[in-house]
Structure formats: C-alpha cells, structure tokens
Chain A
C-alpha cells in the first residue's frame, strides 16, 4: 500500500488552539498503554460526549467515547453513563438504544465535524452502510484529538467538497491516490468525486445551477493540473445532507432493531441478520447494522410515528408503511353528495399507499386513468357512459362494415386483424377469465383491440397491448368501459408501442441516467454497478425492456399453483395493485422507473458477484418473473423517489413517457411523434455529451446504441 501523506492536523488552527489550552482529553501514546476491560488497548477516551435524542437540547444522554485498539483493528465505542440522564423521560431503554458497541472503524464511511459559531462541536459518524449515528456532542472538547487518533490508525482524508468531512479508507480510485500523495500538507482537500460524477449530472438546467454556485479550485498552490470540479458541488453536498438526515432517523432504526432482537438475544444487539460478528473476538457484539436489503425485515414492524416530520424522514430510508386497500366506506367519504371526488390528491395518495379493494376498482380506475373527471357528478358520469357507449359502437362499426371484397384491397386492415386474431388466443389463457375453448371474453379482447386500432389508426396494434387490455376488461366487466379505459391508458403508455421504439428508448435512457446519478449520490460510491454495466455492454438497460413495456405485468407474483398438481393459475392481484399505484402519478409520473431501480438494487450484489454478462443478466431478469414482491418493492421505489427528490426527477428528461410530449411541440400524427421523440432524445444526448468529461464515454456509447 502506498504511504500517503494526508491531512496533517498540526496546521489546523482549532487543533493548535486546543493543544495550547491543554485539552482534558487523554491521548495515549504507545508508551502509555492502557488496557480496556474488554481486552483492547484504549487509545483515546473522552468524557461528556453526549447525544440529544430529541430536538430539545435539554434532553441529553452523556457518556464516554473511546477508541480501542485490538490486534490491528481500531474500534470506536460510546457508552452512556448509568443513571445520569438529564431528563427522567429518557429511560434506561433509550440508553441502551443509543449505545455504540465496539464498531470497527473500517465500517465507517465518513465523519463530519460541525463547528457551530455558538455551542459545542459535534461529529456525525456515517457508516458505509449509509446509516449514521446521532450527532455526538463534545461537551469537553476533544474533536481534533479524536480525528487525529483515528488518523494514526487508518487512512483519514478530508473531502474535497467540504473541509469538515473526513473520509475513512476511501482510496479505490488510483487518481485520488496519486493526487493525495502529491498533496501539500492540508492545503488542498484530496478526495474528489470521480470525474463521472460530474459528467452526468442531472440536467442541463441543474448543470447551470451547479455552475452558478461553483467555485474554481484552480488555486496557485496546486502542483499538478487536476480535473476541474466544483468545490461546492451541490449534488455532493446534497448527499451529505441526506446522510445526515439518515442520522436523525436512527432512533427509529435502533428502536426497531432492539425490539426485534430483545426477545431473542436479551441485551445484546446482533447484526440484523442474526449473525454474530466474528471479527471482534473479545469484544461484545457490534451495534446493529441495517444494510438496505435487510431493512425491509425490520421496517415491517415499524409503527407509524406520530410526528409527521419524523414520518417523512423515516420514509426517506425505506418508504412509508403500506396500507390496506381503499375500502368502500373510505371511498364514500371521498365523494360529495353528488358524486364528485372532493379531494383528488388525497384520493391518489390513499391509493398510492394501499391500492384499491378489488370490488371498487371498477369504480375508481376510470378516474385514475383520466376517463372520468374527478369533478364529475354521478349524473354526468351516467350520461358520459351512455354517450361513450354509442361512440364505441360507431367506431366498432367502422371495421365491422368492411366487406371481404374491401378487405382484399386493405392490406393494413388484414394484417392487423390477423395479428390480433393470433394474439388474443395467446393472452392470459391460464387465467380462468380467459381460459377454455370459445371463451367469449377472448372475442371481447379481439373486438376492443381491433376497434382501438381504428380509433387510433396511427398507433394501431402492437403486441403487449393485449396484455394491458386483459386485466382492464377483467376489472371493468364491460366492453365499452374497458375500451375507453384502455384508450385512456394508451394515452400514457402508448409510446411504448411506437413502431420505432422511441418511447421505450426514451424510458431506458432516463433509467440509465437516473441510475448513474443514484449510485453516485445515494450510494456515495463511484457507481460500481454503472461501471459494471458499462464493461459488460449492459448500459442500454435492455434487460429492463419487458418490465417497462408491460409495466411489470407477467413479472409480479401473479401466478399461483393450485392444489391440482402442475396446474398454474394466473391471478392479477399484484399486477392490478402495482398498476393502480403507478397510475396515481402521486410523487412522480415515472414510478415504474424507480421500481426498476429498486429491483436492480436488490439484486445488485448478485449481479456483480456472479459476474453476469449481458446474456446472463437478461436471463436472470427473465427468471425473476413471478418472484417480484410488489409491496416491499413499492416501498423501496418510494424511498428512492423521496431520497433523490428533485435531483432524481431531473434525470428523467421532460416528455419521457408516460409524461405527455412537451407542450410547445404538440403534434398530431405518429410520424411527427416519432420525429419529436427523436429530437428530444437527440437533445438529451447532446446535453449528455456536452457535460461529459474526456474519460467518460457513457454518452457516446448511448448514442451508438440507439438504432433509429
């Protein structure tokens, strides 16, 4: 390993001052070895380090912070004092909850120092898992020594973006290694975000925003030409803020974990998978870790906190708890005496978190799809239904009246008819609603699809539309209503079926863009999965094609094995739930893309661990069919959505389906639509290229992958 001359604390003004004043903290050199009762060597100890479990500064738990060296590893621990809580409301349980049991420093990602102009210094310790401990307030000083001691044992460097952030063991990037080894003492921060982090920043607009607040780092003290990056990269700041938000919610995480493990393991907190850490021989168990994948187990038990703000913070990590489906009674409450939906946003939100009881879908779906106006009354809807039924019959007559002689001279019609004819008998036939010979529902599928191909002749019919229609007909149980709901749905997902696949390409593109930003900002990593996809020619995200095309239909765990051996029965339960949640457009119009990311995240380690290439990955994704659990996936997707918020949303170019095309470019025919899609994509790609740095070929790769 390269010897790295990193930040030297000797030139830190605060540090020097604290040294002069004679700090009360004890820094023990090797000569003054002190044994910790648990068997390690105590290299740092500080009293009166406290946390404030609530927003009130008066409520505080004080304790002793220690760094203990055992073998070659350094551990950090913080033990609250017994019976010294400043407030009686804080129980013994709280004490246990916050205790930091020996934690290997290697598990720490970063430490942020806060030096408020008034008040005490505090540190926030962020773990590599992304979770953070509550702020540790140093009432007796000692922050510098704490950092200096850590620095003696592990690599600790200042972040390039924020002089108060210290990154632990973060030297995977050879460039960073080189830079840091060339660094003058503490003059310039060393850890830079990778060039890729800047190459693909959210949008051109946010690029500009970034540029506005960016300061140039090209100061004279630098010896080598460094890639230009922005010291105050708001994206980077954002991620740090985000992690700090996480630190505020650790109380819930810890409470829950302790609840879960108290029964089994008494006082001891084990790793959340129940494993006892084996790398800390003589010391007690490590504090609970909550890696993202395991969070779900825990979160099922979480009670809804009363404080709405806390509730929101909690959602940042693992999404809000799912609710039971919207019931008949609740639905009634949403309507006024004449049948108007009084608060449509509240309704959408309710559906977003719980879905709809099956028997109500028929009533609520037309609103979600935009077939009914939320402001319409019972009477207006009744009228609309009959008027629309007549309209439907008229359109249907258009093709029904084509004589065989006329059809002979109408190739397009014959082709569509033939295709639909072949496809309706291959649509959800294992589902009882469509199985059996001469099933009349198959004929309804046929009539509706052919009628739609006349209603929207430009889009016509494409395989996959049948998959959207079959659940709609099953729910609506009425030909004309199913047709109009289908037509409304096609207003949204129709671009999935553009002949040139521009709608699909736009979504896959947005997905890849979002993923890159996500890995960098949220995972705080140099996006290993992205690099992995890049190396393995997977950056086109084609493996998500079917998910997006059919909005996860056939992917959800819809297939049940009945008691008869080998008899599979298809139900739609999961698909219907997912669809109605997506259709609410609550939080985002593109929740389906977040769902993709949630699933990829879940299997990321598997994908990379098994070194899947494009073919293997495609096969793996295919084999997930029927294994995607919707409720937890939705929570993950929601968390993703909340997590990156605007920054994430900005990765999705305007006009990406199911968003409507840009207003200033409304066009009528599909040909123009295609040109528009092409133009938008061209623009997006151009932006991407403009923001790309020399070694980042992502954008170029993407350009070459589109086959127009």
Chain B
C-alpha cells in the first residue's frame, strides 16, 4: 500500500510491562494475554492517516530484559518515534525509566519523539504509580505522556497516533531532513510527490513539506 511517509517506531521498557500487547492491540485490535515472551525483536506495522496523508508505522517491539540491552541498543538507530512503556502497577518499572531514557538519548537520534506510556490503567485498584507522577516525569524530560490499557484498548490508538502527529508536525516545521533516513522517516509515493500510483496526485498544500 502506498504511503506518504513511513515512520519507524520502537517500543521499549521493562519486561512484562505490556509492550507486545500494546503492539498487538494497535495492529490487530485484540488483546492476547497468553503469548510467548519477546526475544530480540518483533515487528508490526499499520497504516494511519494524519492530515489526510497515509502514513505507515513500522513498529519494533523489543525485548525488555536487562541482559538484552546491548542488542536492543542496535535497534534504536533510525527510529523516528519511541513508546517508552511502564506498568502503573509495578513501581520498579517506573523507577527504571531514567535508564531507558538514557539509552534512548544515547543511541537514537536527538529528534526522536518519545511517548511515555503508563500501561495497565485498567488495573486501577493495583495502581502503584500515580498519573501525576507520570505526567511530571514526562514534563521534566520533554516526553509526551498517556496512560493506556492494552487490555481494554483505552488510549492505545491515541498513543501511537499522537506520536505520529508530533513527528509529522516536526516534518512540517522543517526539523527533519526527510531524505536522510537516519531520522527514521521514509518518504513514500502516496500523497506527497504525487508521482506514483495510489493516493492523491496533487502536491501537498502545507508549506514547507517535502523537505
């Protein structure tokens, strides 16, 4: 399917916070409590639309365990967006955010858009991290923030799309050189140049795109 842009996403965070479930909920719209744990990396993809432009998200779902950090680091390269996930019912997964962030800052490009996701918000009765704390952390570190539930699908769609919208805005603002793929963005043929079969044949109206 043709797309205007392809964004590479990476999902990171401690083991068991629900990274694979978030991905599955977003790509397949289902919750699967029983699945094999992730070793290395798994891939998912979905098309979304922003500003009437078809955008393909290619999502890398990584293994969370500490031991695999050195390999996970090699996946950051060329990611345009990241979902940094913690589990609101397990305090330690929130405490580890700083070290994840450090990895991301060190191994991803500086303009990567990071969405902090507090997952499992359906388990409010077992909450160990307050919404305010999450908000505060995000604010301090310049991250987007959202609490979600991969189980009920609450805010899952929003978390992925809001991240994409932010990346898209950065493109519009000329933050990225989209021809440089190290920013995790690929320009497709659908809708931007309008030179291929598929969506839209007119050039984009927003000024300053097609950088």
Contacts and interface: CB of A to CB of B under 8 A. Distances in A.
Given A422-B15, A426-B35, A497 B73 contact: no
A501 B39 CA distance: 14
A396 interface: no
B39 to A, nearest CB: 6
A514 to B, nearest CB: 20
Interface string B11-43: 000011000000000000000001111011111
Contact of A429 (B34, B67, B77): B34
A322 interface: no
Contact of A615 (B65, B68, B78): B78
A619 B43 CA distance: 7
A670 B184 CA distance: 38
Contacts of B8: 615
A261 interface: no
B74 interface: yes
Contact of A426 (B34, B41, B67, B75): B34
A707 B70 contact: yes
Nearest to B33: A425
A536 to B, nearest CB: 12
B63 A463 contact: yes
Contact of B39 (A419, A463, A614): A463
A463 B40 contact: no
A619 B40 CA distance: 11
A429 B36 contact: yes
Contacts of A615: 8, 78
Interface in A597-654: 614-615, 618-619, 622
A426 B37 contact: yes
B42 A622 contact: yes
A464 interface: yes
Interface stretch (A241-249, A327-335, A546-554): A546-554
A622 B41 CA distance: 8
B175 interface: no
Contact of B74 (A463, A500, A540, A546): A540
B36 A707 contact: no
Interface residues of B, number: 24
Given A463-B67, A615-B8, A550 B41 contact: no
B71 interface: yes
A419 B43 CA distance: 23
Q: How large is the interface on A (under 10, 10 to 19, 20 to 34, 35 or more residues)?
A: 20 to 34
A298 to B, nearest CB: 35
A427 interface: yes
Interface in B41-58: 41-43
A707 B77 CA distance: 15
B39 A464 contact: yes
A542 B39 contact: no
A499 interface: yes
Contacts of B43: 619, 622
Contacts of B36: 426-430, 554
A540 B74 CA distance: 10
A545 B70 contact: no
B65 A545 contact: no
A550 B35 CA distance: 17
Given A463-B15, A463-B65, A618-B41, A542 B34 contact: no
Interface string B93-120: 0000000000000000000000000000
Contacts of A554: 36, 39
A615 B80 CA distance: 14
Contacts of A540: 74
A657 to B, nearest CB: 15
B135 to A, nearest CB: 27
Contacts of B15: 419, 422-423, 463
22 contacts: A419-B16, A426-B36, A427-B36, A429-B35, A429-B36, A430-B36, A463-B39, A463-B65, A463-B67, A467-B39, A499-B66, A499-B67, A501-B70, A501-B71, A504-B71, A540-B74, A542-B71, A549-B39, A614-B77, A615-B78, A618-B41, A707-B70
Interface of A: 419, 422-423, 425-430, 435, 462-464, 466-467, 497-501, 504, 540, 542, 545-546, 549-550, 554, 614-615, 618-619, 622, 707
Interface of B: 8, 15-16, 34-37, 39-43, 63, 65-68, 70-71, 73-75, 77-78
Given A463-B65, A499-B67, A545-B71, 6 more contacts: A419-B65, A423-B37, A427-B37, A501-B70, A618-B41, A622-B40
